Amino acid sequence: MIIYSETRGIVTVLRIQGIVKFGESSSQFSAYLDKVLLETTGPVLLDFEKIDLLDSSGLGELVGHVQRFQLRNRRIAIVRPKERVETLLRLTRLDNVLPIFPDEASALTYVLAGLEPVAGGKGPAAGR
């Protein structure tokens, strides 16, 4: 797994590539999210466009960190997940607490404007 980080104003964008699964990649994902949580203060976008697999361990790390960001009143959103990853997020109902967006522009609008997700928490990607 590879993680690239960039800053867009106050927003941290994490571009994640590869597989997030039990073991080293899940630990690396968790450590990177911890670093962002401690070293930055603004909203976070997780660009999942190049994630090929997210298993239950990676999903668990994501859930735990979503809660930590929310406790600090920081918005976090997912951008461009592949269909199978998006299906997993919706089946586990994580999309109720972590909005999913089809593009970065709409995700940036959400995290910067503080808009609530569309009814049911499905975000604008619901029609995809």
State pLDDT tens for residues 34-92. 999 999 999 999 999 999 888 888 888 899 999 999 999 999 999 999 999 999 999 99
Fold (topology level) of 2-116: Transcription Regulator spoIIAA (3.30.750)
pTM comes to 0.84
CA distance 127 to 106: 14
Domain ranges, ordered by start, for the chain: 2-116
Distances (CA, A) of 32 to 6, 21, 42, 116, 128: 13, 15, 15, 26, 29
Residue 124 has pLDDT above 70, yes or no: no
Tell me the pLDDT band of 128, cut-offs 50, 70 and 90: very low
> Which amino acid type is present at position 9?
G
